[in-house]
Amino acid sequence: MLLNPSLHPERASLSRLPNEIKTRIIVHVLNRMKKFAPYSHEHWHILLSSVNRNFYELCCPFNWGELNLFDRQAPQLERLIQDALPRQANHVRSIRLGRRFLGEEFPEKQLRRVLKMCTNLSQLVVDIDTADLDHDGNFLIDPSNPVSTMLEPISQLSNLTHLFLRNCVMKKQGNNGFETCCWFDEEFVLKIIKNMTHLVSVRLDRIGSPHRIWAYDDSKSEGSIPRLNVSPLAVHLASLPSLKFLNLTSMHCFDSGWSQIKWRGVLEGFTLRETNTTLRAFHDFCRMFSDSLVFISLHRNDVHMDNSLLRCTLPSDLQDRFLFRLPNLKRLSICNDHVFPLLQLFRESRNIFRVSLMNMCYSHISFEEIESLINWQTSPWPHLESVLIHVDKKGFSREEKLGLLEVGKDAGVKVEIGALKAVRKPFFEDDAFSSHSEEIETVSSYPASPAASLDNWPSGL
């Protein structure tokens, strides 16, 4: 006798799932793809889009949200313009532009058309290989650096919210033929960003300040504190009402003047890398955003105090003067030669729950110093959950690493220590700020036991 099929439930399938569940599946698949190839610049295409029409439509914002046009040639861009963008341009939110090789003709015409078609574009990463303005202050077109032809249309993208200008300018020095990195002038950067009034996140690198003028303000009690003509770039950034994230690398123009002006934006994240600065300038800048800063990242900066590098613990009076009282600070990353004096200055930022110490050698931070940060009886941060310590193989002995894991286990703090794998992004500002960091293969005190973690350590102790 045949069974009545209407009495049996329909077979479960992807196509019958609610759209909310389908979207979660798509996001999970995309995250897994990026996890196993985190540095691939290829266009991520989720194959779930081929399941049915519904999946195709749900996948489009993810498949076409980012366009990597770096080193793309004209025929590739023509196919993109003719076949895909008429249907998908409204999904594009982020584009990367740049050129590494000069063998083929630069596709200026096609790139301009792409920018014009992608009307919802909000994020741009551009590798700039020239940094010259003519006598009238206009972008100088350099045939040997074809990206210069794109600077004018880029500067007209007034709706951008996220911008990363990568300085790729290399010039030969003298007769020796060696190439060296060059600096952007502030005026050049301002020419690019002056119309971008909605910026939320700005990332800039290698910007000089050749016309900076120093003076001395005798009205200051310290007597010898230099007073600066304020950086034009700082003045412009301070005028942006939506600015929340500022990432600066090798900034000659970052100085005490940045804290002498009123900022309209409310910074939540501040990253300073490879910059020669003073403790006073850095402290005063952060103090302006004491109620809003959520994360701070310092990477290989030369921090000066009284005309010398900060190398040891400050006297008590200066510790009080430069104490960071940031009640909303949650994440702190420091990669400097002498990190412990800086860490001590954050002891009043009581809500820090994650600390990252990267590239620290044993001579620069000791076992006892790290232990004092983790131990629940001595740690200045009662809410500490995670400590990531990147050291070379000679930085700590196996016994010391095991000891720190035990200290973390007793304190309920996840401790990860060792030399991070090459596939690991170099600094925690790129790790989605996870306090659990499932992507990191390290010696960890939590949740596995120290012995189990050591067995899984890829590069040995």
> What does the pLDDT read at residue 48?
64
Ordered alpha helix ranges (H), 92-222: 108-117, 151-155, 186-193
Residue scoring higher pLDDT (77 or 320): 77
CA 256/CA 194 separation, integer angstroms: 23
Confidence of residue 30 (pLDDT cuts 50, 70, 90): confident
The residue-averaged pLDDT of 265-285 equals: 94
Residue scoring higher pLDDT (3 or 85): 85
> What does the pLDDT read at residue 432?
37
pLDDT of 440 > 50? The answer is no
CA distance to 354, 359, 408, per residue, from 402 (Å): 20, 19, 10
Q: How buried is residue 318: exposed, middle or buried, by Cβ count under 10 Å (0-12/13-18/19+)?
A: middle
pLDDT of 40 > 60? The answer is no
Peptide bond into 447 cis (omega under 30): yes
Angle subtended by helix axes 398-411 and 367-374, to nearest 10: 10
Q: How do strand 214-216 and strand 226-228 relate by DSSP bridges?
A: antiparallel
Residue scoring higher pLDDT (410 or 59): 410
> What does the pLDDT read at residue 68?
92
CA 146/CA 135 separation, integer angstroms: 20
CA 135/CA 122 separation, integer angstroms: 31
The pair of structure tokens assigned to 230 is 């304020």
| Range from 111-120, 163-172, 383-392 that averages highest in pLDDT | 111-120
pLDDT of 257 > 90? The answer is yes
The pair of structure tokens assigned to 190 is 């301002």
> What does the pLDDT read at residue 370?
92
> What does the pLDDT read at residue 439?
34
pLDDT tens, residue by residue, 183-227 = 899 999 999 999 999 999 999 999 987 555 443 333 343 434 445
Q: Which contiguous run of DSSP H or E holds residue 281?
A: helix 279-288
Q: Residue 279's closest CA among 341, 217, 218?
A: 341
Q: How buried is residue 120: exposed, middle or buried, by Cβ count under 10 Å (0-12/13-18/19+)?
A: exposed
| Mean pLDDT estimate for the chain | 79
**87-91, 102-106, 344-348 — which is least confidently predicted?**
102-106
pLDDT tens, residue by residue, 406-438 = 999 999 999 988 776 544 444 444 443 333 333
> Rounded to 10 degrees, what is the CA torsion of 111, 116, 118, 123?
70
Q: Residue 46's closest CA among 12, 14, 79, 18?
A: 14
CA 44/CA 41 separation, integer angstroms: 8
The pair of structure tokens assigned to 29 is 């698949």
Confidence of residue 265 (pLDDT cuts 50, 70, 90): very high
> What does the pLDDT read at residue 243?
98
The residue-averaged pLDDT of 368-396 equals: 89
Residue scoring higher pLDDT (229 or 78): 78
Percent of the chain past pLDDT 90, that is, above it, reads 47
pLDDT of 92 > 50? The answer is yes
> What does the pLDDT read at residue 458?
29
The pair of structure tokens assigned to 56 is 């195709």
The residue-averaged pLDDT of 70-98 equals: 93
Confidence of residue 389 (pLDDT cuts 50, 70, 90): confident
Phi, psi of 112 (to 5 degrees): -60, -40
Confidence of residue 460 (pLDDT cuts 50, 70, 90): very low
Residue scoring higher pLDDT (58 or 5): 58
